[in-house]
Amino acid sequence: MRRLGYLKKDESLETEPAGNLFSASSAMESVSDIPRAADFSDEEQLGFFLIDGDALLVSNRKHYRIPAGLTAQPAFRKLAEEKRQRVFFDQKQFLKKINSVLGYSSDFDILIAVYLLRAGERSYTIDRAAREAGIPASGIGAYLRAFEIKSALEKRLKEKNLWEVFAEMEMPVVPILAEIEERGMMIDTKYLAKLSEETFKTLQSLEKEIHK
């Protein structure tokens, strides 16, 4: 199975159609300051999404457009890292955007869910996820119904016996991949050289056995 974080160099996945999605909706509040964490103290889940360079914060009561300049602020990262059910579309990119490597077992990435349900497709968008979930919404409207999409996709994953793959294999590595892509990864070149030499000798031995 091809993991989203391990695409070949010449591969790409379209994850969101072009265009200014925000301009098509007035169902949210644009802010000049980061909403207070206390405003969401009774919220069991929040949605965090990146659209057109800005962030979209979705709650059960209100939705906020967070300008790109504020997404790098520690206060926004603190809000995003509070432990609760968090819903994303491409959590890895969101974590990289706010310089975070924190993941929770309750996190849900809509992008990974629809990818598992429709592996092999080249385009994974929020609109595609909404169709898969049976939710009649698109663009910003789909993001604002992210919690409904999440619930429907979770049910589909369990019906298809893919929930363990999603929850135990895919989601736990998202913060790890985000950190690797941002900070790099140390490699023991001496050990790899030794392993390569040992593997080469083993192959030579097997070839000799085959040709006996």
101-134 pLDDT tens trace = 899 999 999 999 999 999 988 889 999 999 999 9
- CA 162 to CA 100: how far, in whole Å? 27
pLDDT digits (tens, 9 = 90+) for 151-188: 999 999 999 999 999 999 999 999 889 888 877 778 88
- Measured distance CA(95)–CA(88) in Å, rounded: 10
Per-residue pLDDT tens over the stretch 35-50 = 777 788 889 999 999 9
What is this structure's pTM? 0.77
How is residue 11 written in tokens?
Answer: 């591969």
- Residue 169 has a pLDDT of 95
pLDDT at res. 14: 45
Question: Which residues are within 8 A (CB) of 84 and not within 5 positions of it... i.e. 6 or more apart?
Answer: 43, 44, 45, 46, 106
| Per-residue confidence (pLDDT) for residue 15, from 0 to 100 | 45
